[in-house]
Amino acid sequence: MKVNIITALGDNALMGNFMKGDSWFNWKVFLKSLQGLPMTPEEFDIFKQATKRTVQPDKPFTESYVIASRRAGKSLVSSIIAVYLAIYGGFEEYTKLGQPVYIFVIATDKNQAKICLHYVRGILENFPGAGAQPLREEIRLNSNIIISVKTASFRTGRGFQTAGIIMDELSFWRSETSANPAEEVVTALLPGMLPNGLLLGISSPYSRRGYMWDVYRDHFGKDDDVLVWKGTTMFMNPTFNQRTIDKAMKRDPVAAKSEYLAEFRADIEGYLTREHVEQATGDYEMLLPQPGIQYKAFADPSGGRNDAMTLAIGHSDSGVVVIDRIEAVKPPFSPETVVEDFAKILHDFRCHEVVGDRFGGQWVESQFRKQGIAYRPSALSKSEIYVEAIPLFTMSKIVMPKDAELEEEIVGLERKTLSSGRQEISHAVGYHDDRVNSTLGAAVHVWKEIAQAPTPEELEARMPHFKRDPKTTRQQDIRNFNRDFARDNNLAIPASRMRFFR
């Protein structure tokens, strides 16, 4: 039986127990738009306000996106649409040969997926005749239609018969191994989309980049075949407390406009382009320690439960920072055991000191000290390290090993302009920065020593202040000065500037 979604929501015997009351009016206008159903003049005004379109749709859309702020009811609406497609979408005929039809509800993380799965199960309780068989991440109906609720990071297969792909909180999809997880999911599943199937993205807005921003930029306000709907929290849920929004606007107006007014954030920019990172990536995965090179190391400790513990080692070569090795141990692990393993690597590279962030206080220092390694907390914060590292990429002064996760972590960093005008750089929602923190920490540590090391001309200028040994030649004097200057200032003078040592 083919029933439009508005009829189903208006009948208590069908889906009428959901979206009750006037507060859901604008959501129902969206659903009418989605299916190309006739609208009243009042509904058409709502449609024009939310889409900036001028023409009322007269046929269903197969691709649509909703940009709605927090507490607008997005996850419930996503689940209602998924169940509607399964019960009334008319896809049973495609299951006759025994191959199931899938409706994917894909959430940004496990917690969001659980919420969507809970909604789907609750809605299906209204349909005992559907024979819903709940499994861990999916629900199979008697019709051999399966509603599958997954996280955005799952490895999507190919070859599915797909009636719907509903992407929940699409703006916040992140992956440590993919440049664009949304495109990967769509690329994998869309070829199996059945006629009249639906691709729907529904999310709060975030930064002006990524899949959702691209769709908004290309299709919002245009009378084309992709419906983009945009609504604030109060527009989509007039029962929400306006005072909460007013307080948020006073506290942080930029963030509040995104959270409650459905505006993409203009204060968040990407840290470095993928091209910058690719140009800085060498054709090696790891370099072995070499004699005659002084190495520097940076560690990002962890307690072993949530974040990886990482170590990076680098050196300078002709004014360029070379990252020789990156080690990362993912949780769960014993921090003491990882420190022991890292210490062995540090000794191999003749590193008797490692710099790192201030995680763990004295505990970290004592664990490294047991292994004969001095641990020195970094004078720079993570954000300051990331700022200092930018010129290394823009001036092609860094070479790093091939590491897909490191590349995604660097590209995933975001630059935010605070109200004070100061810039802050940190990882985006859903990303980690364990590899990038140690890698760029080591890079900046090496680079600062390159910048501080005296040039041959500076050495010549300082020679009158050097206490000469009458038994040595001038060339030996310069060599001794280099040695003493490096020792007194704790510097590793690059080989390119040690011309008298060649």
Rg of the chain, C-alpha, whole Å: 29
| Structure tokens belonging to residue 379 | 């004078």
**What is the pLDDT at residue 225?**
93
Q: Identify whether the C-beta of residue 313 lies closer than 8 Å to the C-beta of residue 349.
A: yes
pLDDT of residue 456 exceeding 60, the answer is no
Q: For the segment 130-147, what is each residue's pLDDT rounded down to a tens digit?
A: 777 877 788 889 899 999
Largest interatomic CA distance in the chain: 105
Strands 374-377 and 353-356: parallel
H-helix or E-strand containing 105?
strand 101-107
Residue type, 402: K
Helix, strand, coil % (nearest 5) of the chain? 45, 20, 35
- The structural architecture, per CATH, of the domain 274-452 is 2-Layer Sandwich (3.30)
Burial of 6 (0-12, 13-18, 19+ CB in 10 A): middle
Q: Identify whether the C-beta of residue 409 lies closer than 8 Å to the C-beta of residue 179.
A: no
Question: Residue 355: left (phi > 0), alpha (psi -120 to 50), or beta?
Answer: beta
DSSP labels, 6-61: HHHHT-TTTTTTSS-SGGGHHHHHHHHHHHT----HHHHHHHHHHH--SS---S--
Q: Identify whether the C-beta of residue 411 lies closer than 8 Å to the C-beta of residue 272.
A: yes
Q: Identify whether the C-beta of residue 373 lies closer than 8 Å to the C-beta of residue 296.
A: no
Average pLDDT over residues 426-449: 85
User: Higher pLDDT residue, 496 or 334?
Assistant: 334
Would you place residue 495 in the very low, low, confident or very high pLDDT band (cuts 50, 70, 90)?
very low
Strands 413-417 and 423-427: antiparallel
DSSP 8-class letter at 356: E
**What is the pLDDT at residue 496?**
41
pLDDT of residue 385 exceeding 80, the answer is yes
pLDDT of residue 1 exceeding 80, the answer is no
Please tell me the pTM assigned to this model: 0.65
Domain ranges of the chain: 5-242, 274-452, 456-501
User: Higher pLDDT residue, 49 or 265?
Assistant: 49
| Structure tokens belonging to residue 407 | 């590349």
Rounded CA-CA distance 229/33 in Å is 9
User: What is the rounded end-to-end Cα distance, in angstroms, of the chain?
Assistant: 86
**What is the pLDDT at residue 355?**
94
**What is the pLDDT at residue 502?**
26
Q: What percent of the chain has pLDDT over 90?
A: 41
Rounded CA-CA distance 486/500 in Å is 15
User: Higher pLDDT residue, 265 or 366?
Assistant: 366
Average pLDDT over residues 53-69: 93
Average pLDDT over residues 90-109: 87
- The structural architecture, per CATH, of the domain 5-242 is 3-Layer(aba) Sandwich (3.40)
Q: Identify whether the C-beta of residue 51 lies closer than 8 Å to the C-beta of residue 221.
A: yes
Cα–Cα nearest to 107, from 98, 118, 97: 118
User: Higher pLDDT residue, 91 or 466?
Assistant: 91
DSSP labels, 424-488: EEEEPTT---HHHHHHHHHHHHHHHHHHHSPPHHHHHHHGGGS---TTS-HHHHHHHHHHHHHHH
Centroid of chain to Cα 20: 36
Q: Which residues of 257-271 are buried (b: 16+ CB within 10 A; e: fewer)?
A: bbbbbbbbbebbebb
Give every strand in the sheet of 193-203, ordered side by side.
Answer: 133-134, 138-140, 145-151, 101-107, 161-168, 193-203, 63-68, 227-231
Calculate the average pLDDT of the chain: 83
